[in-house]
Amino acid sequence: MYEYVGSVHIHSNYSDGTGSVEEIARAAREARLDFVIITDHQNMKGYLEGREGWYDSTLVLFGTELNQEDHHYLAFNLKEELDTRGLAPQEVIDLVNQKGGFGFIAHPFEKGSPLVLQGRHYPWKDWEVHGFQGIEIWNYTSQWRDGAQNLLKALYSIYLHRNSNLKCPCPQALQAWDRHLARGEKVLALGGTDAHAIRVKAGPLQAEVFPYPFLFRTITTHVYLPLQLRGDTLHDRAMIMDSLKKGHYFTANDQVHPSQGFLFFAENSQEQCLSGDTIALNKKTALEVEAPSPRSTIKVIKEGKVIRESSSPNLVFKVLERGAFRVEVHYRSLLKGERPWIYSNPIFVV
């Protein structure tokens, strides 16, 4: 199994981001990302113009962020542009699925800031929907905006302490995810930067708010692939999309500490499976976690409750009941205390 690191919610100058595809690819390479998925609003221009492919050591792929009224939905694995004007959230989800894609509810609890876009914000309001692949639990830009309620706070978080925007995933989004899991629904979690690299001008001064190379080193998506990427765009795209669809990946804040090497899997006497997969309960069913630092605190979570906690980097947890089990790893930093770091997808024990 091979692990590759990417960033999956990005805007380019095909919509309201400022960077070209080449600039984004360069920033991703600087941040040592293996892949990026550019998700411009309401369009797949980059894909349709044949811009997908390898740019040196980074694979650039395209999805899209579909907006209708207030709801934002990240759609992946599409091969065409969808016209979703006037559609209800459920109709958008269904259309994406029909076209062979899959999607994630974006920044579902965003509150907005009076300082940005005149306070406009796009939380997800329709929770009766079904058929979506997952929920974006961590969104750098959206959560920064939520915290930037006045100029002082905004300037502090842009210029003095950028990582103050990165404390943890959105608590309400985590709760919503856990509620779906507790009901037995197969829902995954995603983390995005929502990178725009917005340039702001004040007289002769010009600044880029959260440039792409900075954001690409923050919230990352680590996919597990059965084969190595081989430089063939179609093959490599299919592998990455497959792992995103199945939940064979985890989300991490790599500013806390490099998260490569994290593993969460399950086994029983007959089979072994990865996060996102389903495994049968028998006398031998166990979850196994390998965290990439001795400073790890591992939490096994079921229905929103921590059912096992360990301060060692390796954990074997014998499963005695059915349900969805997910893992969080918090990093015990010497100066900053325990910091939320890695979020796995669930393993479904049936």
Closer residue to Zn ion in complex, CB, 115/286: 115
**Burial of residue 277, with CB atoms counted within 10 A of its CB: 0-12 exposed, 13-18 middle, 19 or more buried:** middle
| Residue 40 in tokens | 């411009």
> Minimum CB separation from Zn ion for residue 106, in Å?
5
d(CA 95, CA 23): 32
Closer residue to Zn ion in complex, CB, 52/194: 194
Closer residue to Zn ion in complex, CB, 28/300: 28
> Minimum CB separation from Zn ion for residue 74, in Å?
7
Q: Which residue is nearest to Zn ion (CB)?
A: 72
> Minimum CB separation from Zn ion for residue 41, in Å?
7
> Minimum CB separation from Zn ion for residue 268, in Å?
40
> Minimum CB separation from Zn ion for residue 298, in Å?
31
Closer residue to Zn ion in complex, CB, 107/162: 107
CA distances in angstroms from 176 to 61, 124, 280, 324, listed in the order given: 29, 11, 25, 14
Decide: 30 and 56 in contact? Cβ < 8 Å. Answer: no
Residue 180 DSSP symbol:
H
> Minimum CB separation from Zn ion for residue 112, in Å?
11
| Residue 145 in tokens | 């905006």
> Minimum CB separation from Zn ion for residue 191, in Å?
13
In three-state secondary structure terms, 250 is strand
> Minimum CB separation from Zn ion for residue 236, in Å?
24
Q: Which residues bind Zn ion (CB under 5 A)?
A: 65, 72, 106, 194
Closer residue to Zn ion in complex, CB, 37/252: 37
Closer residue to Zn ion in complex, CB, 106/263: 106
> Minimum CB separation from Zn ion for residue 194, in Å?
4
Q: Which residues contact 20 (CB under 8 A, 6 or more apart)?
A: 12, 13
Closer residue to Zn ion in complex, CB, 39/157: 39
d(CA 69, CA 260): 38
Closer residue to Zn ion in complex, CB, 106/256: 106
325-347: burial string, b at 16+ Cβ within 10 Å, e else: bbbbbbbbeeeeeebbbbbbbbb
Place of tokens 């979690």: 189
Measured between its terminal Cα atoms, the distance across the chain in Å is: 25
Decide: 199 and 18 in contact? Cβ < 8 Å. Answer: yes
Kindly state the helix (H) or strand (E) to which residue 314 belongs, with its residue range: strand 314-318
In three-state secondary structure terms, 269 is coil
CA distances in angstroms from 139 to 66, 85, 89, 194, 232, listed in the order given: 16, 25, 20, 6, 30
Closer residue to Zn ion in complex, CB, 106/223: 106
